A and B are shown apart, each in its own frame.
Chain A
Amino acid sequence: MDHAPEATAGHHGSYLAEKTLRSWALTLDHKRIGVLYICTTLFFFLVGGVVALLLRLKLLTPGPALFSDHTYNVLFTIHGAIMIFLFVIPAIPSSLGNFFIPLMIGARDVVFPRLNLFSYWCFVAGIVVILGSLVSPMDTGWTFYTPYSEQTSAAVTVLSGGLFLVGLSSILTGLNFIVTIHTMRAPGMTWYRMPLFIWAMYATSVIQVLATPVIGITFILLAAERVLGIGFFDPAKGGDPLLFQHFFWFYSHPVVYVMILPAMGIISEVVPVFSRKPIFGYRAIAYSALAIAFIGFLVWGHHMFVSGMGTLAGIVFSFLTFFVAVPTGVKIFNWIATLYRGSISLDSPMLYALTFIFLFIIGGLTGLFLGSLATDVHVHDTYFLVAHFHYTMMGGTVMGLFAGLHYWFPKVTGRMLNEKLAKYAWGLILVGFNLTFFPMFILGMQGMPRRYAEYPAKYQGLNIVATVGSWVLALGVFLMFLNFIRSLRRGGLAPDNPWRGLTLEWSTSSPPPEENFAEIPTVSEWPYNYGEKPERRTEGKRER
């Protein structure tokens, strides 16, 4: 493959044309790397999901059942760690981001293709090390709080190494995207003509580059504590366990915006396309992504309200936490304003996008309960938090991911999904999700603590509802995956632009050729001129 892409203006082979294993493993094509990430992360979504089903099954009854308490601790640690580090964090940025950033900005690839491939294999190496730690599996919860994580016999050191590699992969991907968005945009694509998904990915990448090294050093220190016997986090040696929590949350709070911002970017693409209306408040949505990324760095202390952090710090962190709700609200109101008087078609991507808005409003508002000091003291470490977290992460990020997968499936694979099956799956997922997680708000308010293997019998009723809900949810996800796999072979051939979208990825063939575009497009307006009377605007709200 030694041809200059610019020279071949005639026929273009699909990027999927070459079939050998080697052509996938050593590919420098951002699309193929994106597909590798999609497969890897979705695989771990299923693994984490099966573990979650086991946990829910055990919680069907209040007393001991199925497996030991220690196994329960191990399983919820595995569920959390896999879902967070191997699925939700890379799920949208590394997979759909990799595939669509160059396509949407009109480039042939990311700026550093070899670094991109290295990121992927670094991710895989991290996964292998993490799986190696299962020899003596973790029982600390995914937060690895000290001093317990220093005392347990589990393979904390090995796991730290694996997570360090996964983090490095995340940093390098973010770095690649930042530089790509700065330097690779097609002629005429000014910042205010970029699709909002690109703005979201830019904000995400900044967080990845600036927050991930802090968890990296935290893992290094945790490993050093265990191997060298230092006592930074061990009160017995003069260390401070609170320091670990500060380090941990300095990454782990901003990283929830790494999870949610790309999903918000997908919603900002899907809503105008299926409403046939220009996006409302383009600049407000773009800036709010940056605002969320910025303020997101200043709120980590709200995870530590009851850790003994001090009242003044608590008040400041609480205020800043409320503050981050403002740009989030800005986005939601803008999406709803875009829907207003739109010509809405309820295809599966749009159904997931609307589900995102609905569930994320619940998840976001309950976040304010947790962000205010007094209520947090009451519901901290209860199922209320579990419900809030899953409403934002599963109801938010995962619904955004599903919206993106349904929206872009024709582009990635060249096949259409079975719309009927997609809608059945969506219905089951919506019902199953709410059945599973809504009862947890109530359980939390009633005082049921999270992470306990057993619970008082009075909580059983709602736990049964949640467990049955998890089966409905699982069935929905199963149908969705069945649809994906079935459509790969049997789906109808996808046209280049099945949803009549205006962003650049729809201007090339489905699936795209290896070099993305026969000719690099020139951009002369923003990509949201939908509707009967396209507004004569070349960019966001104001002319520059």
Chain B
Amino acid sequence: MSADAGNKHAGAPVSARLGIWAFLATELLLFGGLFTAYTVFRISYPDLFHLQHLKLNRILGASNTVILLTSSLSMALAIAAIRQGQRKLMEIGVATTLFCGACFLGIKYLEWSEDFARGLFPRSNLFFGLYFVMTGLHGLHVILGMAVMVWLLIKGRQGVFSGDYNTPVEITGLYWHFVDIIWIYLFPLFYLVG
């Protein structure tokens, strides 16, 4: 039973794709709660949000946005490559994405250290509470995505993926784009409060 459980579901791509979309729907509602909290508090305390957001480093935030967008591009290229059976190109794409993810986390680390040094903590006020929780949860998702990519690279080295079988690469890509999109919203909400 256990050995053939994987094989007896031939034609996995449809189910895998449906599964990852359902999972992303769950993720969207997970973050949805936080976006709701953000909306409620921003409406309640517009001045607080404006004043506090000035303390964030826009340049670092913008760099991270560029980095994540680049990583989405390299991920998309990796998927396109493996669909045509180009393993080497796929590995380069995934490795680039992994590298971008690491840069993102490095910059995030710098930002947070700067914040802590200036006495800005989650408990400081509601703005920073939201900032740390939302970027923190997002950061966890980045780490999770990177872990999966390391696994993709290992499996890729073993020659598991090909033009016929590349489901894990594709669904990891979908997940990574989702994580990206979350950041696309987080960036203006925290760094560019009007």
Residues of B within 8 A of A114 (CB): 5
Which of A234-242, A412-420, A531-539 binds B? Answer: A234-242
Interface centre among A28, A109, A178, A230 (most CB of B within 10 A): A230
Contact status A212-B26, CB under 8 Å: yes
Q: Quote the shortest CB–CB distance from A215 to chain B (angstroms).
A: 9
Q: Quote the shortest CB–CB distance from B56 to chain A (angstroms).
A: 17
A230 and B22 alpha carbons, distance in the complex (Å): 31
Contact status B4-A221, CB under 8 Å: no
Known pairs A217-B33, A217-B34, A220-B137; A209 contacts B123 (CB<8 A): no
Tell me which of A182, A184, A213, A232 contacts B126 (CB under 8 A): A232
> Interface 1/0s, chain B 11-35, versus A by CB < 8 A?
1001100110011011111111110
Contact status B18-A217, CB under 8 Å: no
Contact status B122-A28, CB under 8 Å: no
Contact status A29-B1, CB under 8 Å: yes
Known pairs A175-B22, A229-B123, A243-B40; A113 contacts B33 (CB<8 A): no
Contact status B26-A175, CB under 8 Å: yes
A224 and B123 alpha carbons, distance in the complex (Å): 10
Contact status A112-B1, CB under 8 Å: no
Known pairs A5-B8, A111-B9, A221-B33; A179 contacts B22 (CB<8 A): yes
- A26 contacts chain B at the CB level, 8 A cutoff: yes
- B45 contacts chain A at the CB level, 8 A cutoff: yes
Contact status A178-B1, CB under 8 Å: no
A213 and B137 alpha carbons, distance in the complex (Å): 13
- B37 contacts chain A at the CB level, 8 A cutoff: yes
Contact status A27-B1, CB under 8 Å: yes
A533 and B46 alpha carbons, distance in the complex (Å): 71
Q: Quote the shortest CB–CB distance from A541 to chain B (angstroms).
A: 28
Residues of A within 8 A of B22 (CB): 175, 178-179, 209
- A216 contacts chain B at the CB level, 8 A cutoff: yes
The B89-134 residues at the A interface (CB cut-off 8 A) are 121-123, 125-126, 129-130, 132-133
Residue of B nearest to A212 (CB): B26
A514 and B22 alpha carbons, distance in the complex (Å): 28
- A457 contacts chain B at the CB level, 8 A cutoff: no
Residues of A within 8 A of B8 (CB): 4-5, 108-109
Residue of B nearest to A230 (CB): B129
Residue of B nearest to A113 (CB): B5
Known pairs A221-B133, A228-B132; A240 contacts B26 (CB<8 A): no
- B59 contacts chain A at the CB level, 8 A cutoff: no
- A66 contacts chain B at the CB level, 8 A cutoff: no
A314 and B2 alpha carbons, distance in the complex (Å): 52
> Interface 1/0s, chain A 487-498, versus B by CB < 8 A?
000000000000
Known pairs A179-B15, A183-B14, A217-B33; A228 contacts B2 (CB<8 A): no
Q: Quote the shortest CB–CB distance from A513 to chain B (angstroms).
A: 11
Q: How extensive is the interface on chain A, given as a class? A: 35 or more
Contact status A4-B30, CB under 8 Å: no
- A309 contacts chain B at the CB level, 8 A cutoff: no
Contact status A214-B133, CB under 8 Å: no
Contact status A183-B15, CB under 8 Å: yes
A246 and B40 alpha carbons, distance in the complex (Å): 12
Contact status B23-A1, CB under 8 Å: no
Q: Residues of B within 8 Å of A, CB-based: how many?
A: 40
- A247 contacts chain B at the CB level, 8 A cutoff: yes
Contact status A232-B26, CB under 8 Å: no
Residues of B within 8 A of A216 (CB): 30
- B3 contacts chain A at the CB level, 8 A cutoff: yes
Contact status A229-B4, CB under 8 Å: no
A interface majority secondary structure: helix
Residue of B nearest to A246 (CB): B36
Known pairs A210-B25, A213-B27; A112 contacts B4 (CB<8 A): no
Residues of B within 8 A of A232 (CB): 37, 41, 126, 129-130
Tell me which of A3, A4, A176, A218 contacts B33 (CB under 8 A): A218
Contact status A243-B37, CB under 8 Å: yes
- A2 contacts chain B at the CB level, 8 A cutoff: yes
Residues of A within 8 A of B130 (CB): 232
Known pairs A221-B37, A238-B45; A230 contacts B122 (CB<8 A): yes
- A231 contacts chain B at the CB level, 8 A cutoff: yes
Residue of A nearest to B30 (CB): A213
- A171 contacts chain B at the CB level, 8 A cutoff: yes
Q: Quote the shortest CB–CB distance from B100 to chain A (angstroms).
A: 26
Contact status B26-A1, CB under 8 Å: no
Contact status A213-B29, CB under 8 Å: yes
> Interface 1/0s, chain A 427-439, versus B by CB < 8 A?
0000000000000
Contact status A112-B26, CB under 8 Å: no
Contact status A238-B126, CB under 8 Å: yes
> Interface 1/0s, chain A 195-234, versus B by CB < 8 A?
0000000000000011111101110110010001111100
Residues of B within 8 A of A171 (CB): 26
Tell me which of B1, B27, B123, B133 contacts A514 (CB under 8 A): B1
Q: Quote the shortest CB–CB distance from B70 to chain A (angstroms).
A: 29
Contact status A209-B4, CB under 8 Å: no
Residue of A nearest to B33 (CB): A217
A238 and B137 alpha carbons, distance in the complex (Å): 22
Residues of B within 8 A of A240 (CB): 40-41, 44
Tell me which of B18, B29, B129 contacts A178 (CB under 8 A): B18
Instruction: Report the 4 A-B pairs with minimum CB-CB distance, sorted nearest first.
Output: A229-B123, A230-B129, A217-B33, A213-B30
Listed in ascending order, the chain B residues whose CB lies under 8 Å from chain A are 1-5, 8-9, 11, 14-15, 18-19, 22-23, 25-34, 36-37, 40-41, 44-45, 121-123, 125-126, 129-130, 132-133, 137
Between A and B, 29 residue pairs with Cβ closer than 8 Å are A1-B1, A1-B2, A4-B8, A5-B4, A27-B2, A28-B1, A28-B2, A29-B1, A109-B9, A111-B9, A175-B23, A178-B18, A182-B18, A183-B15, A183-B18, A184-B15, A210-B29, A213-B29, A216-B30, A217-B30, A217-B31, A217-B32, A220-B133, A221-B37, A228-B123, A230-B123, A231-B123, A231-B129, A243-B37
Apart from the given pairs A5-B8, A214-B32, 19 other A-B contacts in the complex at a CB distance below 8 Å: A3-B4, A28-B2, A111-B15, A210-B25, A211-B29, A212-B26, A213-B29, A213-B33, A214-B33, A217-B32, A218-B33, A221-B33, A228-B123, A228-B129, A232-B129, A237-B126, A238-B125, A239-B126, A240-B40
